[in-house]
Amino acid sequence: MSNPLRIFVPVKRVIDFAVKVRVNPAKTDVDRNVKHSMNPFDEIAVEEAVRIKEKAPKTEVVAISCGSAKAQETLRTALAMGADRAVHVEVKDDSTLQPLAVAKLLEAYTKKEENKPDLFILGKQAIDDDSNQTGQMLAGLLNLPQTTFASKLEIENQSLKVTREIDGGLETIKTSMPAIVTTDLRLNEPRYASLPNIMKAKKKPLVKITPEDLGVDISPRIQTLKVEEPPKREGGRKVESVDELLDKLKNEAKNFQNT
């Protein structure tokens, strides 16, 4: 572990979580001409890194994003939240950029960087492709320990203690650093970037590199054959009373035949 600590935080620009996405008429993708913002789990990752920095002020927090030119907006948001510098791996079309390719770009960048990170904090999943893969893949490629779905993270000297959200409850894991952590919703409450910090973020360093610079093949391994709307539910029927509700459940939906 280096002293001071260095944390890499990969962030992704995605369609804003509040937007109701629509499938495009050609059924090849969703309509992307809508509001985008930083993936909510990545905001939690940036927040956690910045909180570690607030306790150990010499910590360096590096935000990295792989994507089109617009990914720079997301990197500026991370800088405004408190990251020190940003790295933009620019790809022409990020609609076909898949977790394995991103993990390889991050691996190649890490290997190239002289100043190695002690910790990677990623979101547990991006809310667009819902894959939940990149952090685990990066850990595999770099042969580092991984603690996914973290809801609590403690750094003690050379080691990391992480509480993870698992099916049915929580689990605690201790591991050495460097390590990969992916964030769950309950790790923290991300801060809003203040206006002065947004202004300051514009002056923070942001370097741009390409997959070619890193020698990584980003061609998709998975081909999307089609994208469709999910089947519509025929909802919207209202009942007047508890009695009517129970009657419908028993006699129409046949729900309580054994009760």
Partner 1 sequence: MLANTARTFVKARPLFAQRFYATGAGANTLLIVEHKDGAITGATLNALTAASKLGGSVTALVAGGDDAIAQSIAKYTGVSKVLTASDAAYSKNLPEDLAPLLVEVTKSNNFTHVFAGHTAVGKNVLPRVAALLDVAAVSDITGVESEDTFVRPIYAGNAIATVKSNDNVKIVTVRGTAFEAAQESGNNAAVEAAPEVAKSGVTEWIGEEIQKSDRPDLGTANRVISGGRGMKNGDNFKLLYDMADKMGAAVGASRAAVDAGFVDNSLQVGQTGKIVAPELYVAVGISGAIQHLAGMKDSKTIVAINKDADAPIFQVADYGLVEDLFKAVPEITEKL
Of 112-151, which residues contact partner 1 (CB under 8 A)?
A: 124-125, 127-141, 145-149, 151
103 lies in the site for partner 1, by CB under 8 A: yes
**Binders of partner 1 among 31-90, rule CB under 8 A?**
none
State which residue, 1 or 21, has the beta carbon closest to partner 1. 21
249 lies in the site for partner 1, by CB under 8 A: yes
229 lies in the site for partner 1, by CB under 8 A: yes
State which residue, 212 or 228, has the beta carbon closest to partner 1. 228
Q: Is the distance from CB of 163 to CB of 152 less than 8 angstroms?
A: yes
Stretch that binds partner 1, among 51-59, 62-70, 184-192, 202-210 (CB under 8 A): 184-192
Stretch that binds partner 1, among 20-28, 52-60, 77-85, 109-117 (CB under 8 A): 20-28
Run of H or E including 173: strand 169-176
State which residue, 61 or 66, has the beta carbon closest to partner 1. 66
Distance CA 74, CA 83 (A): 12
195 lies in the site for partner 1, by CB under 8 A: no
State which residue, 77 or 146, has the beta carbon closest to partner 1. 146
**Least distance (Å) from partner 1 to the CB of residue 183?**
11
Q: Which residues contact 48 (CB under 8 A, 6 or more apart)?
A: 121, 153, 181, 183, 187, 188
Distance CA 131, CA 163 (A): 22
| Buried-state track 196-215, b at ≥16 Cβ within 10 A, e below 16 | eeeeebeebebeebebeebe
184 lies in the site for partner 1, by CB under 8 A: yes
Q: Is the distance from CB of 112 to CB of 214 less than 8 angstroms?
A: yes
